[in-house]
Each structure stands twice: as structure tokens, then as C-alpha cells.
Structure 1
Amino acid sequence: MAKTKPGKKDLDSYTIKGRNKVVRPGDCVLLRPSDSDKPPYVARVEKLEADHRNNVKVRVRWYYRPEESLGGRRQFHGVKELFLSDHYDMQSAHTIEGKCIVHSFKNYTKLDNVGTEDYFSRFEYKAATGAFTPDRVTVYYKCEMPYNPDDLMVQCEGC
């Protein structure tokens, strides 16, 4: 965990204004974009801190949507798919719109109902280089495509 600067204090939690939802380090949040036509940004809270005026800042680790990555969105990317990046930032806590849940791919595919706050991540993304970890995933026999949880896959005889 990063050291807190003089004049700042670490916080255990932050309550989202008007939402009465409590955010803690480790939670995933939706952050308001500057362009209201865009969907909210998604990030994982790493740290909360307040200055001497009680202005709360949040250190976040960003999730990228496929279209925000170097390779762009591909056919096998799910609608709710995100990539956990190595991109960290400090943001005003006032930009937090709400909480969300970023599931592992395996847990996401087991959900009975996918809510608006549910996302999944199966890759980590290096923002500077565009590299992914893992750099390959299981593909299917005939189509040679990774599984997209939004598409019903009917097993062929070869798969």
C-alpha cells in the first residue's frame, strides 16, 4: 500500500453522496465520465484518503473496456467484459456514482441473472504496451474462438 502524504489521513470507508452506499478498499466502483454520453468508468478502489479540509480522494486501479484497449473489441469479448489494467490514478471521491461487482470469468458464467452492476474480467492488461495476461485462452475446436458468455454455444460433434 502506498504511503500517505503528510497532512493526509487514510480512511477505512467512504459513503457515496445521495446513494448511502459504503465504499471500502477492494471494492469496485463506477466513476462518472466527463462526457455524459459515455458509460461510467470502472475501477477497483485501492486506497481512500482525506486531506485537512476533508476532501476525499480515492486511489483506483482502472478496468478497461475492450474498445479502450490497443487491440479493440473482438468477436469473443462479452458485452460486460473488462480488463484489469496496470493503470493507477487518484480521483475525487465525488466522481463515484455507485458500486459494481467484477467477477472472475468462471463465476460470471455461473450467474443465474446478470444485473446491471455485474461485470467480468478474464485478462489483465498492460496499458503502455497493449499486452495481455494470460496471452492466450482456450479456443473451441471448429470455430477456434474463445468463449463469449453472451453467445449461446451449441457443442458440435468435434468439440
Structure 2
Amino acid sequence: MRTKQTGPKRPKHDVNDTPINSPPVPDVKSPAQPHELSDKERAKLRDFLDKDGPSPPFSITTIPLNNPKKRKRSTTNLHTQSDLFEDRLSVQYEIKPLNNWESLRRYKKFTVGNESIAVGEHILVKHDISEDQKIDIAAQWKAKVLEVRALDPEHVYIRVAWLNRPEDLDSGRKDYHGLNELIPTNHMDIIDAMTVNGRLELYHWAEEDDESAMPGIGEHFWRQTYDFAGTKTFSELRHICIDDRPQNPDKMILQCPSETCGRWMHLKCIAEAAVGQTSDSQQKQSSNAKRKSTSMKKGARAKTPELTPGSTAQAKALNQATGVTAEVFVKGLPADEKDGGPPEGSTRVVVTREDGEDEVTDVKCLFCGAAIE
């Protein structure tokens, strides 16, 4: 038997507990630089940057690489961004006013408080600060740093590509999304570095590779992208199990040990299958009960209620019509995730009938029937 579940928490770079009040400082100039500005030019550029207050005075428009309309635009003002997580997110963009943007010096990184953040790293962007001034990481916006430009420490700007939470996109959060899952996009903006709250550690989980380490507990990760600028589509996720659904990385899955099968299964599907089988059997054994009231309706699925506090089961299913429940236990668990007792000694399904009688059965592959020990 092989299992996949959220891994242990990885060592992380510390994020400041309080927002940064000191000005960000650009650091290490990039080789390609604009001409040295005269005092008059610097004063004029500073006036432009200050005229709209703290909001960045630059706008950015993205154009899909395969968009035929881009040919009608002036190609001299277009730039290409080709390192956005996946090739499918490569995009062209245009910044206005371009002359003022390109008059700012380019930097490889910038410093906020005691953190030095480089181009290519990920950041927390101020969104919601509680009254005690502590950063709520979940509530912050997240982004990837693509470019840093500055006139002086009071005028530092960052071109970013946004990382979205599933619930921030039109399709919403699904049952297979992990708690700390983020979805990279090619949606770009230019923000003031004063809005940065610190660095974000982000892990790429290659879920199609069975040897790829699972995201750590509390770790932000990505496995899927969203083409905001072009097709408005998501990249494909791997589908598993009899329900042909993606894996939620916060929940365990089991793999069939048979070399000729080897398929992965959701524990909830194993519990639901056990409930369905027992419900059908219970209906057949009850000669006086009406079929329509005691059996699951054709095509109906068992419910997956929350596990009770302290339960060592990893998944649970319930048929409200028959009162049958099933819980799945996995050998060696709980290890660290749950309290209350030693690790489980066996992998099994415990089915409880309507009369309260328990039946313990082996966990079997939902595809080939092989026992999973």
C-alpha cells in the first residue's frame, strides 16, 4: 500500500509579524539602465510620480502572444514576459506612460525592513491588517516579482504577476483545492513597494509525478495556472479514482498495490463504496421493508460528514436513508495530525449498520478488488 498525504512542515523564511513602515530600498542595479537623469529631469519625474499620491501612476495592459489584434498595435511599445510559471502564460504587455517607466533605474532586488527580496521571488501585498497590526497571511494578496524600478527610496515600483486563491477567481473554490493552494496567472500590475509586507515561500507541487514531495503543512503551493490574459482557462489537473476527480492535497489517498493496476483512490470514495454495498445488502435482507425507503436511490451518493473530534478515522461516509455509516482507518495513523491514542495497527473499513452493529472489512481497490493492507 502507498499513501500520499500532506508532508511535514518545511523550514521557512520568517515573515515579519508587523507591517513594514520604513521605505523600501532598491538594491543592486541591473546592467541595462536608462541614461543618467539631470536634476531637472529628476524633479520633473518626481512630480509625475507624486501627482496621484501613493497609487502607482503606471498602467499595464497584457496582450496574448497569439492574439492577431496585437499586429495592429505599435510593436515598439510591447515587451514579452516568458517566465511565468508555465509556457502557456507567456504574454506581451504594454506600460503607460512608457517613457517615465523606462526613465526609472532597474534593480535586481529591493529591501523592505530587514528583508531583501529579489526579482523572481514571491511577496505578500497589503490587503487586510487587523487592529493589533499583525499580518494575516491568508488575507494578504500574493504575487511574483517580475521587475523592480526606482527613482529613489521613496519611489520604488514593482511589476508583479498575481497569485490567486481559488475563491478569488470566477470559478470559485472546489473540494479538491488545498487550504494553502494558489493559482498563478499572467495578470500583471505595477504596485508601490510600500505595499509589500514581506516574502512568501511558494512550493511547486508536480502532482503528476508520484515521487514529488507533497506540500508541507501550512505551506503555500501551486500546481495549476490560469491564463487570465488570453484563453481564460486553467491548466489540467490529474484526475484519479472512480469519481475521476483531482486530489485534495490536504487529504490522504491510497494506491492499489497490484502491479497491473496501481491506481490512486480517494479515501472518501472507499468509504462511500462501503456504505453503498452495505445499504444494498441491508435492503435485500429486510424482506418487510419497502425498497424505495430503505435503499439508496439509484445514482445517489453517500454523504461525507465531518469526522467527530478525536476520531482516528481518515474518512467517513453516511447514507441518511439507511443509517449506514463507514469509516476508513489507515495503518500507522494517526502519527502527528491527530491526538488520542497510538497509531492504527491495520488498514480497514468499519461499517456500522442501522441497528448499531459494526462490521470490519478489508480495504479493497475500487477498480480491481485487490486487498490494500
TM-score normalised by length of structure 2: 0.37
Deviates more, 1:37-46 or 1:73-82: 37-46
Offset at 1:106? 2.8
1:113: how far off? 4.1
Runs (4+) off by over 4 Å:
1-4
| Gap change, CA 1:139 and 1:86, over 3 Å in 2 | same
Match runs of 1:6-155 below 5 Å: 6-17=102-113, 20-33=114-127, 35-36=128-129, 39-51=139-151, 54-106=154-206, 110=213, 113-115=216-218, 118-127=219-228, 130-132=232-234, 134=235, 136-155=236-255
The whole-number CA distance in structure 2 between the counterparts of 1:6 and 1:137 is 39
Which amino acid is 1:22 matched to?
S
Is 1:158 equivalent to 2:366 in the alignment? yes
Report 1 or 2 for greater relative contact order, CA contacts < 8 Å, sequence distance ≥ 6. Answer: 1
Unaligned runs of 5+ in 1: none
Any unmatched runs of 5+ in structure 2? 1-78, 81-97, 131-137, 256-264, 266-364, 368-373
Q: In structure 2, what is the Cα distance between the partners aligned to 1:70 and 1:144?
A: 22
Cα deviation for residue 13 of structure 1 reads 1.4
User: Quick one: structure 1 residues 154 and 119, their matched pair in 2 at CA, closer, same or farther if it must change by over 3 Å?
Assistant: same
CA distance in 1 between partners of 2:153 and 2:200 (Å): 28
Aligned partner of residue 254 in structure 2, secondary structure? coil
Amino acid at match of 2:117: V
Contact map agreement 1:71 1:130 (CA 8 A) in 2 = no
Shift of the 150–53 alpha-carbon distance from structure 1 to 2, 3 Å rule, reads closer
Q: Taking structure 1 as reference, are residues 103 and 138 closer, same or farther at Cα in structure 2, changes over 3 Å only?
A: same
Residue aligning to 2:7: none
* Deviation at residue 112 of structure 1 after TM alignment: 7.7
Name the amino acid aligned to 1:10. R
Q: How far off its partner does 1:36 sit?
A: 3.2
Q: CA deviation at 1:54?
A: 4.5
Which amino acid is the alignment partner of residue 9 of structure 1? R
User: What percent of counterpart residues are identical?
Assistant: 25
In structure 2, the CA distance between the partners of 1:21 and 1:83, relative to structure 1 (3 Å rule), is same
CA contact 2:124–2:199 (8 Å) conserved in 1 = yes
8 Å CA contact retained: 1:69, 1:130: no
Kept in 2, the 8 Å contact 1:125–1:131? The answer is: yes
Contact 1:50 1:57 in 2 (8 A): yes
Query: RMSD of the TM alignment (CA)?
Result: 2.6
What CA deviation, in whole Å up to 9, does each residue of 1:115-135 have, x standing for no partner?
A: 4xx311111112366411x2x
- The structure that has the greater radius of gyration is 2
Q: Which residue pairs with 2:306 in the alignment? A: none
Give the CA deviation at 1:154. Answer: 3.3
Cα deviations by residue, 1:68-101 (Å, 9 ceiling, x for unpaired): 1111000000111111111101111111111112
Q: Which amino acid aligns with 1:7?
A: S
Bigger share in strand: 1
Q: Give the letter for the 2:213 counterpart.
A: K
